[in-house]
Structure 1
Amino acid sequence: MNAPTLTPRRFGRLIGVSLGPGDPDLITRRGWAALQSGARWAYPVKRAEESSYALDIARRGGLAVPDDAVELVFPMTRDAITLAKAWARAAAQTLQLLAEGRDLAFLVEGDASTYSTFRHLARAVRELAPEVEVDTIPGVSSFAAAAAVADLALAEEDETMAVIPAAYGTAVIDHLLDEFDTVVLMKVKPLLDEVLDLLARRGLLASSCFVEKVGAPKQRVVHDVASLRGEKVNYLSLLLVQNPKRQRGELRRGCRKRAEQQAVTAVS
C-alpha cells in the first residue's frame, strides 16, 4: 500500500517571537530556538533603514543577524491614511516572503500579544491569505519586568490590576485608581506632567514608580516620580501606580472570603 502523498504548505509560518522588553536574558528558550531555526527574520522599524529596538535586543544577546533579514516599516503616526498604506504594504511584503514556503520570524519587543505590532500584522496578512499559519511565542511584558526591577508587586492575593495606555487621559486614569489596586500606565511620555499632577492630588506620588527602557543598557528606575516634572522622557517608559488606600467592595468569590469562612468553621 502506497503511503499518502502530503500536500506541501503553500506558505511558511508567520512566527511572532517575543524578545522581552530589553534584557536579552529574558528571551525564552522557545523564542531563542525560533531565532535559530533557519526561519527568515523580519523586524519592525519606524522609518526605512532606521535602527530597530527589537533587533538590538537580539544583537545584544549575541545572536548573529542573518544576511537576509528584512525590515518592515511601521511609521509612528496617527494619520489613518498613512497608517493604512503602511499596514497594507507590510502585509503584502510579509505574504510575499511567506509564499517562498519558508517560515518568517517577526521580532517583537516585549510580549507579542500585548500592545504589539505583531497581532495587527498577523491579522492583516490573514485578510490576504486566511490559510497562513500564525505561531505566537509569548514573552516577558515590560510592566512585569518593570515591577521586578522596581521591587514591587503588581498584585497580591485578591488585588486587582489594570493596564492601559496613558493616552486615555487623566479622567479615565482617575476613575481607574478607584477601581484597581495597581494601575500600569504605558507610554506616559506625552502626558507625564498631567499624570503627575493627578497623582499629587490623589496623594499617590509616594506609591508610584517610573521605569524607562526596562532591561536595556540605559534602564532607569525612579521612585521619586515628582522629580520627573518637566522632563522629556523616553517613549519606552511606564508608570506603576499603587493605591493602597482604595476602598474595596465585598468579594463574591476569592481567596479572602474562603479563608474567612474556613476560620469561622474552625472556631465553631
Structure 2
Amino acid sequence: MHKTGKLIGVSLGPGDPSWITRRAWEVLSSSAHWAYPVREAGQTSYALEIVRRGGLPVADDATELVFPMTHDAATLAKAWGNAAKQVCEKLHSGKDVAFLVEGDASTYATFSHLSSAVGSEVPDLEVETIPGVTSFNAAAARLGQPLVKAHERFAVLPAGYDLATVERLLPEFDTLVLLKVKPLLPELIDLLQRHNLGGSCAFVERAGTDGERIVTDPEQMRSLQANYLSLLLVRNPDRRSS
C-alpha cells in the first residue's frame, strides 16, 4: 500500500519571483503536483503568475482550486469541500501536493483553510508550510524604511476593518499596516489627515511586480483606483511609549 502524499503550502512572496525561497523553489522543481487558487473558474491565478515569471514551467495537469470571494457560509463550505476532494485524490495516489500561495502561507492565506479541510478527510495528513515574504515586509523594503525600530509597536489589520478601528489604534502603535485598502482608501486618507498623519503614510500596490505602484502624496492617494493587492503603511512619529 502506497504512502499518502504530503500537503505543502508553498509561499511565493508578494510578486517578485526572486523573493521565492530556496525551499519553495526546491518543492516547485520536484515531482509534487501543483494546485493553485482562483476566485472563479478559469480566472487568472496571481500565485501561478508569480511562478511563471520566475521561469518555472507549469504542468498541464496543475489543479485549479476555486475559492470564491464571498461571506456566504454555504457557498464557502461547498468550495472548501470541493477543493479538499480534489487535493485528497492526489494525496491518496501517493503524490505530494504543492499549494501555491501569494505572500506567506501563514499570514491571512487560504492555505490554513485548505489544510484544515483536507485534514478532516485525511486524519494522518502530513503538512509542511514554507514561509515567505509578506506584502508589508516587501513594502517597507521597497520604501527603504524600517517597518519598526527598537521598542516600537506595530499592528497589521486585515481586510474588513472599519474607520473606527483604525482611529482607535492610531495612538497605540508606531506603525499600522492596513491591508487591502481599496474599498476605504479616500476615507482612510481623510482620517489620517485629520490626525496630521497624511504625510506619514505610504500606499504600495503589487509590490515586486511590473505593476508596482508606490505613492506617498496623500492627495494623489485619495483619487487612486486601487488594486485589490494594495496596502497602506502608516507611521505615527508622535506616539509616546507607555
The whole-number CA distance in structure 1 between the counterparts of 2:21 and 2:106 is 15
The whole-number CA distance in structure 1 between the counterparts of 2:87 and 2:202 is 39
Q: 1:239 aligns with which of 232, 239, 242?
A: 232
Q: Secondary structure at the match of 1:239?
A: strand
Q: How does the TM-score come out when normalised to structure 1?
A: 0.88
**1:111 counterpart residue number:** 104
**1:25 counterpart residue number:** 18
Post-superposition CA distance 1:139-165 (Å, at most 9, x none) = 000000000001121111111110012
Residue 220 of structure 2 is aligned to residue 227 of structure 1: yes
Q: 1:14 to 1:166 in 2, by over 3 A?
A: closer
Q: 2:82 aligns with which of 80, 89, 99?
A: 89
Shift of 1:56: 0.3
Q: CA RMSD in A?
A: 1.1
Shift of 1:84: 1.4
Residue 172 of structure 2 is aligned to residue 179 of structure 1: yes
Post-superposition CA distance 1:66-85 (Å, at most 9, x none) = 12211100111122221111
Shift of 1:121: 0.4
The whole-number CA distance in structure 1 between the counterparts of 2:77 and 2:58 is 29
Question: In structure 1, what residue type is equivalent to 2:217?
Answer: D
The whole-number CA distance in structure 2 between the counterparts of 1:93 and 1:19 is 22
Question: In structure 2, what residue type is equivalent to 1:243?
Answer: N
Shift of 1:166: 4.5
Q: Secondary structure at the match of 1:162?
A: strand
> Would you say the 8 A contact 2:13–2:134 is kept in 1?
yes
Shift of 1:231: 2.8
Question: In structure 1, what residue type is equivalent to 2:129?
Answer: T
> Would you say the 8 A contact 1:42–1:107 is kept in 2?
yes
> Would you say the 8 A contact 1:167–1:191 is kept in 2?
no
Deviating 4+ runs (over 2 angstroms): none
Q: Secondary structure at the match of 1:56?
A: helix
Q: Secondary structure at the match of 1:82?
A: helix
Question: In structure 1, what residue type is equivalent to 2:15?
Answer: G
The whole-number CA distance in structure 1 between the counterparts of 2:112 and 2:229 is 19
Q: Secondary structure at the match of 2:160?
A: helix
Shift of 1:232: 2.1
Q: Which residues in structure 2 correspond to 1:202-217 (within 5 Å)?
A: 202-217=195-210
Seq. identity, %: 58
Q: Which residues in structure 2 correspond to 1:1-268 (within 5 Å)?
A: 8-9=2-3, 11-249=4-242
Q: How does the TM-score come out when normalised to structure 2?
A: 0.97
The whole-number CA distance in structure 1 between the counterparts of 2:78 and 2:37 is 16
Q: Secondary structure at the match of 1:167?
A: coil
Larger radius of gyration: 1
Q: Which runs of 5+ in 1 are unaligned?
A: 1-6, 250-268
Question: In structure 2, what residue type is equivalent to 1:171?
Answer: A
The whole-number CA distance in structure 2 between the counterparts of 1:93 and 1:166 is 28
The number of aligned residues is 242
Q: Which runs of 5+ in 2 are unaligned?
A: none
The whole-number CA distance in structure 1 between the counterparts of 2:44 and 2:201 is 32
The whole-number CA distance in structure 1 between the counterparts of 2:115 and 2:155 is 26
Q: Secondary structure at the match of 2:129?
A: strand
The whole-number CA distance in structure 2 between the counterparts of 1:130 and 1:189 is 39
Q: Secondary structure at the match of 2:106?
A: coil
The whole-number CA distance in structure 1 between the counterparts of 2:162 and 2:218 is 18
The whole-number CA distance in structure 2 between the counterparts of 1:25 and 1:71 is 24
